[in-house]
Amino acid sequence: MTATATRSLPLPEVIPVRALLLGERLDTRGLERRDSMATAPLTLRLPEGGVAVLFRYGVAVLFNAPPAAEEALIRQLAPLVVAPFAAREKDEVELRIGDRAEEEIDVAGTIFLKQANTERLQLVADMLAKSLILTHYETGIAGLFDRIEPLAVTLRDKGRAGAIGRDLLRQIGNVLLIQHNMVGRVETGEKPELLWDHPELERLHLRLTEEFELRERSRALDRKLDVVSRTVETLLGLIQSRSSLRVEWYIVALILAELMLTLYPLFVAR
């Protein structure tokens, strides 16, 4: 059964949209007020004007929010942001509201909607927030490749891993954290929950997913994470094997030393 969408919000026909990546996580529980427009994801009407959609993985998406509203929201959210980023990544698009046969995205990236109701704004916010977080992870993976490449080159040229195990364990931790966030927190490959109640938005969701290339980018990140993980695990295994071999030689040396200390008094006595 198709759910009935809420009425259009009092927004202009042309709506600027900005997504901000504030930090690793955002505790939205303290913001769930009775006057919230929606809770999944949390959608608020800003006192200074505009609408904000907040996500627990650290992204805030603002619709038609003037600079004063954006600054006030950032100040309000600052105590609730876990591991804030010094440089906030952002992405911007434009919405146009009007009577059109189809809701679509043009070649310039402008998103056309039939009406600016809460569900459509939430859907656009979900797609834009996931796109922004994927961009953040893509940058992080590129940095991991830059740190892993010299280790692989050393292994190729010298036949040994030229890094200490702690650094490699740190890289494994970075990979696991990104995988955990993508699957458990951001759910880049999953449909937003609001589609269960509003299946009439399925077509718009598919078009936004194709426009932002969420599935392709998510699969590409998975492949890169797998390559980094296998490379780091291989290097760490080589280092551990070398350490184990060194320990075995130390044990052999100790056994020989003990034998010499045991036999020496016998030779002296004879």
Structural domain boundaries of the chain? 14-115, 133-269
Write out pLDDT tens, residues 47-97: 989 999 999 889 999 999 999 999 999 999 999 998 898 888 999 999 999
Write out pLDDT tens, residues 127-170: 999 999 889 888 888 877 777 777 667 666 665 555 555 666 66
Q: Which of 26-35, 106-115, 260-269 has the highest mean pLDDT?
A: 106-115
Ramachandran quadrant class, 191 (left: phi over 0; alpha: psi -120 to 50; beta: rest): beta
pTM (predicted TM-score):
0.77
- Whether the pLDDT of residue 40 is over 70: the answer is yes
Whether the bond between 41 and the residue before it is cis, its omega within 30 degrees of 0, is yes
CATH number, domain 14-115? 3.30.310
Place of tokens 């350490």: 243
Give the pLDDT mean for 174-180. Answer: 68
Q: Where residue 176 falls among pLDDT bands split at 50, 70, 90?
A: low
- Whether the pLDDT of residue 8 is over 90: the answer is no
- How far is it, in rounded angstroms, from Cα 214 to Cα 50? 27
Write out pLDDT tens, residues 73-86: 999 999 999 889 88
51 CB burial (10 A radius; 0-12, 13-18, 19+) = buried
Cα-based angle 185, 186, 191 (whole degrees, multiple of 5): 120
pLDDT of residue 94: 95
pLDDT of residue 161: 57
pLDDT of residue 2: 41
